[in-house]
Structure 1
Amino acid sequence: MPKTKFQEIIFTIMMVFMMVYFMICYNIALNVGSMTNQVFLDAFHELVIMGPIAFILDFFIIGYLAKKKAFQIVNLEKDNPFHLVIAISIVSIILMCPCMSLVATLLFKNAGSQIIAIWLQTTVMNFPMAFFLQLCFAGPIVRFVFGKIFNENRA
């Protein structure tokens, strides 16, 4: 886990890239009806827009709120420290998914007068994927790579 502001920036960039890129791939595949090689290329066009938005949102707002709430849930004197990591991840998903779904709805869905309905549908469709992507793939991979980059020793 990040120990300095520089490490926090690097960690956030890594996490945002993985989460946003694969969530974009997921949404494009949903929109076109199948997963194709073209989806992976098309996702980069949206990544240049969605990535910075997700970084700013996570680094300056959501990350702070997620940590604050996680420390209210987890008691580090009694609980395994990894419970804090899981709590931060889950609260981040709960906050980021609706926010990023709203951004995607506004920028890419041409929702018109159905903006609330389409935003809610997008959030509901994205939440399960964001949850499992974060907890099972992106989170563990980013923490592993981050630990290797910054030579964190694991007990």
Structure 2
Amino acid sequence: MYLYIKAIHIIFVVCWMAGLFYMVRLFIYHTEAQQKSDIERDILSAQFHIMERKLMNIITTPAMFITLAAGITMMVLDPALMDAPWLKIKLCFVVGLVAYHFICIEKMKQMKRGVFTWSSIQLRLWNEVATLFLFAIVFLAVLKDGVGWIFGVLGLIVFAMILMSAVKIYKYYRVRK
């Protein structure tokens, strides 16, 4: 039974992450649509709102709840997991990812009201936060105690710097066009 629950957990983690990645992409396009003419902006904003709402309500949020339910079920089926230091750290990152999810919901509601507080560049950086959570969670789950915490944290910082640099380079080339 445990391995079936684990498989469900992994499948819905993939669905959840895909939803979060695409959601922020939609936010970027929605934000950039605000620079269009009034007619284009109104049409695009209405369409982006529909896409964002459906993605969040039909795919992303249900996938989050199924992921969390499967994870909790695995801990109930194998209570010894709660003694593992790597799992406690992983759960901290999971809490961060859940917070990220709810911040995205709030961003979606703001955009529906016509409030755009973040630029497309800020949203691109925001999208990388989910990537950092994903890397941290997967590496902790796979390597468990085999990863030195210092090297893991340093690796995460270096990875974050690479991602941020990539966004800046992308902006540089995009602005040049």
**TM-score (norm. length: structure 2):** 0.32
Answer with 1 or 2: which has the greater Rg: 2
Normalising by the residue count of structure 1, what TM-score does the alignment of the two structures yield? Answer: 0.35
| More relative contact order, 1 or 2 (CA 8 Å, 6+ apart) | 2
Greater helix share, structure number:
2
